[in-house]
Amino acid sequence: MHFELKHTDPHSKARAGLVHTDHGTIETPIFMPVGTQGTVKGVHQQELRDDVQAQIILGNTFHLYLRPGLDVIEGAGGLHQFIGWERPILTDSGGYQVYSLATSRKITEEGVRFQSHHDGSYHFFSPERAIDIQRSIGADIIMAFDECTPYPCDYNYAKRSMHMTHRWLKRCITQMDSTEPKYGFSQALFPIVQGSVYPDLRKESAEFIASQNAEGNAIGGLSVGEPDEDLYSMTDLVCSILPADKPRYLMGVGTPVNILESIAMGVDMFDCVMPSRNARHGMLFTSEGTINIKNQKWKMDFSPLDVNGTAYVDQVYSKAYLHHLIKAKENLAIQIATIHNLAFYLALVKEARARILDGTFRKWKDEQVKILGRRI
Amino acid sequence: MHFELKHTDPHSKARAGLVHTDHGTIETPIFMPVGTQGTVKGVHQQELRDDVQAQIILGNTFHLYLRPGLDVIEGAGGLHQFIGWERPILTDSGGYQVYSLATSRKITEEGVRFQSHHDGSYHFFSPERAIDIQRSIGADIIMAFDECTPYPCDYNYAKRSMHMTHRWLKRCITQMDSTEPKYGFSQALFPIVQGSVYPDLRKESAEFIASQNAEGNAIGGLSVGEPDEDLYSMTDLVCSILPADKPRYLMGVGTPVNILESIAMGVDMFDCVMPSRNARHGMLFTSEGTINIKNQKWKMDFSPLDVNGTAYVDQVYSKAYLHHLIKAKENLAIQIATIHNLAFYLALVKEARARILDGTFRKWKDEQVKILGRRI
């Protein structure tokens, strides 16, 4: 993996770059749709490529490890082969889901013991195991095993946890260095900055992470319930410390406004379940603001789903039709809304990149955050 | 609407024809995917056109009348406009669902009073009302309002019901003649032969229906639980009476084998929820027989879904991947399986048509029924 910084906006800290992987090049800033169990829910792989125009998707190690399991993924020749997706994939380390989804879990210095939410079976993830599993899954970018602290988080807990995350990182790096990729293409490890909402911890963590000279760096432990001002101040602080010549990935963020503001601080990569999850509840992100398509006001609105939308669903289906489908609990509603929202997110970061390159990003961003924050 | 009989197989009663409508020409024999509530569940309209290669789809009057309602469909300019489907549509009369789905219903000579299964509201369908509603929906082919008798059905009930269906047909025809299409394209009314599994009733009904000189004719009241020998003997009998220069539509049939056998008796059109409904439960119809993709035997089978399949899903996804998706209750499983099954049905009738035209239908059909009836 290799990052090429193409341009930095003179009026903000926004950057346009290229992440070269063995599965192709990603234009940054980029948004990565979440494909939890080996599928971006409700979207065919060819729709993801051609309509959403996703350049990289995210898989969840925790879910994939439990189901279908590593025997199946290895048997297929890795996740790309298994799901039929030829572009880059990033996997998280499984840590976040262990804390949020497992039936029970116990964290020690060695790692985390947890129970499957499917069948109650016991499992153990350690930094070494998380690397091995991600080697088996075969993502292009793999994440260090960390503890993602909740919000709010006691200062002393946050500090102890951060130091453990740093020790775990060293073990991840050692494990990476002593193992090989399984499918003939390279895998890059991204370490994760923690430190909750405490500036001194964030600074210490960012400096430690920066010193590891990884191929890319991530900011974790945000978008977990903290106010936007904390999200922004921590992101800005961490971006000012992380090296400029490596991509910066802000994990789990966020709304369209969050993404534009974070791009302005120098973030290059994003993932979030919001566009896909909210689509399933009828919330559409559009160029004019946020729509709840379940609202009666759309019942007789036969205008296209989004006149400015880039996906075919935006032009061929009307608001009234999607309103009907979601009221009737039809699967097609989820399919249409998910493609729309993901295509909207991808078009937004694409436009941001073009604006960075032509020098109009800052002004455009300030206008967009006003529009995109509206509910219509 | 105009039917053009192109060829009749010399070794069976199979026919190849063309049904010309204002929304395009349908090649017969044809299978019509069922789009109950204005959507073939889980399938985008462009997938239906390009991947399934559907030439005509079916809508359910009962469902569409209750939800989204005629105000919405009329507001959109008819069902084609509302759902974004430019090819022909056929609507049933609503009768079958009134009997099978409504919370309560009372049949009189005048019509049927019933309660919505959504909100308990009362509604009344009569032959005249069924025509008016189908005028509002705007299908190319609309069905007469009939009573579909259950199986088994007492002879005297079947006889009385059939005579009422005949009287209702006259009222449908009168209503058709005294009303106009609403959206500028023509609509053809198909009457329906009833008579349960009683040859004398079927003969009487087929003769009565044939005498109406409609643009096409349907065989109803079958595929309701009767043995295959009754399905076939009734179909064969009725086809021998219905006019050869009009298309024959066997309602609600059936398995791939049922369809091939019925084509051999002179049926031109089919609809059935089986390929789409069974897809949702993991049953795939393939060129080698029927598969239950939930079965553990497919867990590690990385071969394409169907090497002989015509849809893109057959080549880009493996059996193991679909097995995983359906076990994980992912929507994409339904989407893939539905496209596969519908494409299989459409490819089957397309092949049947080619075989009829080149004179090899009978031999091919006899081979296929052995293969397609297998479970693998």
CB B257 within 8 A of CB B369: yes
Q: What is the pLDDT of residues B170-179, one digit of tens each?
A: 999 999 999 9
For position A101, what pLDDT does the model report?
Answer: 84
Q: Do A39 and B83 touch (CB under 8 A)?
A: no
Classified as helix, coil or strand, B173 is helix
pLDDT at B361: 98
- Residue B213 is predicted with a pLDDT of 97
Average pLDDT score over residue span B102-111: 91
Work out the mean pLDDT of chain B and round it to a whole number. 97
List pLDDT tens digits, range B175-201. 999 999 999 999 999 999 999 999 999
Angle, vertex CA B339, rays to CA B335 and CA B343, nearest 5 = 175
pLDDT at B104: 87
Predicted complex ipTM exceeds 0.90 = yes
Positive or negative, the Cα torsion across A332, A37, A254, A31? negative
pLDDT tier at B119 (50, 70, 90 boundaries)? very high
Q: A227 vs chain B: nearest CA distance in angstroms?
A: 33
Give A100-145 pLDDT, tens digit per residue: 888 888 999 999 999 998 999 999 999 999 999 999 999 999 999 9
Sort strands A269-271 and A30-32 into parallel, antiparallel or unpaired.
Answer: parallel
Residue appearing with tokens 């066997």: B250
d(CA B76, CA A321): 9
Chain B residues within 8 A of A72 when measuring between CB atoms: 299-300, 320, 324
Cα gap B167→B339, rounded to integer Å: 40
Give the C-alpha separation, A78 to B302, whole Å: 12
Q: Which residues, listed in sequence order, are joined to residue A31 by a DSSP beta bridge?
A: A270
Answer positive or negative: Cα dihedral of B318, B323, B328, B334: positive
- Whether residues A299 and B68 touch (CB distance < 8 A) is answered with yes
CB contact under 8 A, A84 and B38: no
Q: Which residue of B has its CA nearest to A299?
A: B72
Rounded to two decimals, what is the model's pTM? 0.97
H-helix or E-strand containing B354?
Answer: helix B331-358
The two tokens of residue B25 are 């020409």
**Mutation to test the B interface, candidates A86, A331, A338, A342, most B Cβ within 10 Å:** A331
Kindly report the nearest CA distance between residue A327 and chain B, in angstroms.
9
User: DSSP alpha helices (H): ranges in A253-330?
Assistant: 256-264, 274-280, 312-316, 319-327
Give me the phi and psi of A86, to 5 degrees please: -95, -10
- What is the pLDDT averaged over residues B36-62? 97
pLDDT for residue A103? 81
Other CB atoms within 10 A of residue A227 CB: 10
pLDDT at B59 over 90: yes
Strands A15-21 and A2-8 turn out to be antiparallel
Q: Catalytic: A92?
A: yes
Give per-residue pLDDT as tens, A226-250: 999 999 999 999 999 999 999 999 9
Using CA coordinates, name the residue in chain B closest to A63. Answer: B328
Torsion sign across C-alpha atoms A331, A336, A341, A346: positive
Residue B103: the pLDDT is: 81
Q: A314 to chain B: which residues are within 8 Å by CB?
A: none
CATH topology of domain A2-271: TIM Barrel (3.20.20)
Minimal C-alpha gap between B340 and chain A (Å): 13
Residue A259 phi, psi (nearest 5):
-70, -45
B266: left (phi over 0), alpha (psi -120 to 50) or beta: left
pLDDT bin (cut points 50, 70, 90) of residue B95 is confident
Q: Residue B101 pLDDT > 90, yes or no?
A: no
Q: What backbone torsions phi and psi does residue A93 show, to the nearest 5 degrees?
A: -90, -10
Which of these, B68, B62, B64, lies nearest to B95 by C-alpha position?
B62
Determine the pLDDT at residue A268: 98
pLDDT score at B314: 97
Which residues of chain A fall short of a pLDDT of 70?
Answer: none
- Cβ A149 vs Cβ A89: under 8 Å: no
Quick one: pLDDT band at residue B77, thresholds 50, 70, 90?
very high
CA-nearest of A51, A48, A78 to A140 is A78
Q: Are A27 and A346 in contact (CB under 8 A)?
A: no
> Can you give the pLDDT at residue B208?
98
